[in-house]
C-alpha cells in the first residue's frame, strides 16, 4: 500500500462523503469499498442538511483516515482560512487543497493554488493539492513542500474519465517517486483501472459512487477495479505493437 506523508493507507481507493442518499448508504459504501481515506468538506458539510455533530460522528465511525478539503474556495486566502479551521475541528495536518479558478469546469486556479500551498506547507500542513496535469505547476507545488499530487482526470462530477492520457503519462514519468492520486472526473470502474495501469498510486472519487443507482455496489466495483489495475501495472504489461504476432508457434507445423 502507498505511504502518504509517512502514513500507510489501507486501500488505494479514496471516497468523498457528499451527495449520498442517506447516512446509512454512505456507511455501507465505505464498508463494501474498503476505502482507506474519506474526504470531508468543511464548507459543504456544515450546513443544516447534515445536522452538524451527527454527521461528524458518522464520519469518525467509518474508522478511516480523514482528509478535510477546501472545496468551494475561490481564492488562496479563503482556502488557507478554511484549512486552518479544518485543522482545529479534525485535529489533523492533512488538507486537500482546492482553489477553484473557473466556475464552469471547476478547474483549479494554478496561481491561487500555489500561493495557498506555500502558506500552508510553511504552517506545517501536509497538503494534497487538487491540480491539473501541468508539469510546471506540479514541479512548483513540490518545491513549495507538497509531497503528494492530485491531478484531475476530468472536470469534477463529469464522469468523463482520463481526458489527457499523454499528460497523465508524462506526469507519472517525470515524478516517479511522488505519490500521484487521480482526483475528479472518474465515472466508471474501468476508468479507475486505467489510472492504476498508468502507475498512479490511488484514485479519489465521489459522484460516481454517491449518484449511482446502488452506491454501495458501485463502491465495491471501483475497489475491485483499482485492485485489478494496480496488479496489472505491477505485472509489467506487454508493450502494444502495430503488427500482429501469432500466439501459436509455427515451429513443427505440418506443411501440405
Quick: pLDDT tens for 201-217: 999 999 999 999 999 99
Confirm if 151 and 132 have CB atoms less than 8 A apart: yes
Question: Catalytic residue numbers?
Answer: 96
Confirm if 131 and 151 have CB atoms less than 8 A apart: yes
Digit-coded pLDDT (tens) for 184-194: 999 999 999 99
Cα 222 from chain centroid (whole Å): 12
**Euclidean distance between CA atoms 27 and 122, whole angstroms:** 35
Confirm if 197 and 162 have CB atoms less than 8 A apart: no
Q: What angle do CA 204, 134, 68 make, to 5 degrees?
A: 35
Report the b/e string of 35-46 with b at 16+ CB within 10 A. bbbbbbbbebbe
Compute the average pLDDT of residues 221-235: 97
| pLDDT computed for residue 125 by the predictor | 97
| pLDDT computed for residue 251 by the predictor | 64
Helix axes 110-122, 76-90, angle to 10 degrees: 40
How far, CA to CA in Å, does 240 sit from each of 106, 243, 245, 248?
35, 9, 11, 18
Compute the average pLDDT of residues 57-76: 90
**Euclidean distance between CA atoms 128 and 83, whole angstroms:** 11
Compute the average pLDDT of residues 235-244: 88
Q: Which residues contact 223 (CB under 8 A, 6 or more apart)?
A: 11, 13, 32, 33, 34, 35
| pLDDT computed for residue 94 by the predictor | 96
| pLDDT computed for residue 87 by the predictor | 93
222 pLDDT exceeds 60?
yes
Amino acid at each position: 500500500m502507498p505511504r502518504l506523508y509517512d502514513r500507510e493507507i489501507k486501500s488505494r481507493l479514496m471516497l468523498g462523503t457528499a451527495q449520498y442518499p442517506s447516512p446509512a448508504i454512505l456507511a455501507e459504501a465505505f464498508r463494501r469499498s474498503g476505502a482507506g481515506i474519506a474526504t470531508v468538506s468543511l464548507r459543504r458539510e456544515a450546513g443544516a442538511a447534515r445536522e452538524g455533530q451527527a454527521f461528524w460522528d458518522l464520519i469518525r465511525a467509518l474508522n478511516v483516515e480523514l482528509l478535510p478539503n477546501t472545496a468551494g474556495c475561490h481564492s488562496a486566502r479563503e482556502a488557507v482560512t478554511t484549512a486552518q479551521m479544518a485543522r482545529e475541528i479534525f485535529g489533523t495536518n492533512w488538507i486537500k487543497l482546492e482553489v477553484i479558478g473557473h466556475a464552469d469546469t471547476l478547474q483549479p486556479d494554478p496561481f491561487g493554488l500555489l500561493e495557498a500551498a506555500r502558506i500552508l506547507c510553511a504552517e506545517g500542513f501536509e497538503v494534497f493539492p487538487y491540480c491539473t496535469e501541468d508539469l510546471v505547476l506540479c514541479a512548483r507545488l513540490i518545491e513549495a513542500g507538497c509531497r503528494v499530487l492530485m491531478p484531475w482526470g476530468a472536470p469534477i462530477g463529469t464522469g468523463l474519465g482520463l481526458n489527457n492520457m499523454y499528460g497523465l503519462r508524462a506526469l507519472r514519468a517525470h515524478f516517479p517517486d511522488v505519490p500521484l492520486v487521480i482526483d475528479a472526473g472518474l465515472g466508471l470502474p474501468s476508468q479507475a483501472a486505467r489510472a492504476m495501469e498508468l502507475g498512479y498510486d490511488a484514485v479519489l472519487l465521489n459522484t460516481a459512487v454517491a449518484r449511482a443507482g446502488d452506491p454501495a455496489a458501485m463502491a465495491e466495483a471501483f475497489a475491485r477495479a483499482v485492485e485489478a489495475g494496480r496488479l496489472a501495472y505491477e505485472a509489467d504489461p506487454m508493450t502494444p505493437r502495430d503488427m500482429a504476432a501469432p500466439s501459436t508457434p509455427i515451429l513443427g507445423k505440418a506443411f501440405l
